[in-house]
Amino acid sequence: MIKVLHCYKTYYPDTFGGIEQVIYQLAEGGGRAGIESTVFTHSPHGASNNEKIDSHSIYRVKTLCEFASTPFSFKAIRDFKALAAVADIIHYHFPYPFMDFMHFASRIKKPSVVSYHSDIVKQKSLLKIYSPLMNGFLKSVDRIVAASPNYVESSPTLQQFKNKVDVIPYGLDKKFYQNTSSAVLDKWRARFRSGFFLFVGTFRYYKGLHILIEAAQNSVYPIVVVGAGPIEAELKYQADQLGVNNIFFLGALENEDKSALLQLCTCLVFPSHLRSEAFGISLLEGALYSKPLISSEIGTGTTYINIDKLTGLVVPPSNPAALRAAMDSIWNNPSQAQIYGKAAYERFEALFTADRMIESYTNLYNSLLNK
């Protein structure tokens, strides 16, 4: 049994982002491969040290304060050190600057892996201050894992450490998706009878939803938006000001409802326009359901998942006209859309299953322990 300690700033049920989903898949799927996982995280709601989500353990420390989307807690250093002492592998999830500090403060000597989920894009001025700690941390760990070769080649930070970088794509487990009841399917089918474009994700500055709203002007097809986030009010205001009445903001939905919409949609549209979008779990979800994909070329993993004119269409970022043309093309050519969707599923099966991701990480853990 290999004991792995995952470390990230937030986790279920406090937050439901793509990184949390990857950690969950690793923790749950790893159990079948003889891996016992504990997730160390912060929570604004208080501490807990004997919590379970399905078959893996969660250790939460209460957030003392938060700065630049980074939670802090002095107690976290002591607790993290104690958990690390009984772990075989420390698995960090980057970016999380306080994690770097904890690594050095706890004097970690165990084998260590960093899943490098994203460059730091938004806080450029703070990055100048943080860079020495970040570079020291990345230099000190044993291996760094990126989710796509595209991101390795386009990340200045990863290029500095290319000799210790592995590529392990994210993967999803189909059993968590393909279990929607006929009643739920019928409910959504009755509401959107003729098909629709679907966006799924948190409403953040880099998701490009403002571009999608602009592209939707005077379009004839429904556009369904699932999720919530800090810019929700301004997005709805933009749609109202532009007179876009065919976008349906459904809010955050239960997994079964989300799965039903993925199954019924015409196409998964993913307009993220900045490098903060390092991969795009929603694109994988669309591919899992054999849906054609639309995304932007931002030099990250989105274009590792979605290959232009093979699994869907790739458009220039921040270009509403190009996005609109791609959506019109998919809507008006259902036979071609079906061909894209079939290819998207085949690529998912070849590269992006949870089993493949877990096997790759298990091999990496074993190689570090054997070394």
pLDDT digits (tens, 9 = 90+) for 272-328: 999 889 899 999 999 999 999 999 999 999 999 999 999 999 999 999 999 999 999
Same domain for 156 and 216?
no
Mean pLDDT of all residues belonging to the chain: 93
The tokens 């939670």 sit on which residue?
71
Same domain for 179 and 159?
no
Same domain for 207 and 303?
yes
pLDDT at 112 over 80: yes
Same domain for 198 and 127?
no
Region 336-355: what's the mean pLDDT?
Answer: 97
Q: What is the dihedral of CA 327, 332, 336, 341, to 10 degrees?
A: 50
Which domain, by its residues, includes 86? 2-172+353-370
- Please state the φ and ψ torsions of residue 31, each to the nearest 5 degrees: -60, -35
Report d(CA 259, CA 46) in Å as an integer. Answer: 31
Please state the domain count of the chain.
2
Same domain for 158 and 25?
yes
> What's the confidence (pLDDT) of residue 114?
98
Contacts of 234 (CB under 8 A, 6+ apart): none
Report d(CA 168, CA 176) in Å as an integer. Answer: 21
Residue type, 110: K
**CATH code: domain of residue 330:** 3.40.50.2000
Region 194-212: what's the mean pLDDT?
Answer: 95
Contact of 53 with 75, CB cutoff 8 Å: no
Report the candidate in 137, 143, 139, 133 with the shortest Cα–Cα distance to residue 160: 139
Same domain for 98 and 145?
yes
Res. 354 pLDDT band, cuts 50 70 90: very high
> What's the confidence (pLDDT) of residue 79?
95
Same domain for 202 and 283?
yes
Percent of the chain with pLDDT over 90: 80
pLDDT one-digit tens code per residue, 116-142? 998 887 766 677 878 999 999 999 999
Cα–Cα distances (Å) from 157 to 104, 129, 134, 137, in that order, read: 20, 15, 10, 12
Same domain for 145 and 190?
no
Same domain for 230 and 362?
no
Report d(CA 284, CA 306) in Å as an integer. Answer: 9
> Residue 39 CB: number of other CB atoms within 10 A?
25
Same domain for 63 and 138?
yes
Answer yes or no: pTM beyond 0.85.
yes
Same domain for 190 and 118?
no
Contact of 288 with 172, CB cutoff 8 Å: yes
Same domain for 199 and 321?
yes
> What's the confidence (pLDDT) of residue 14?
82
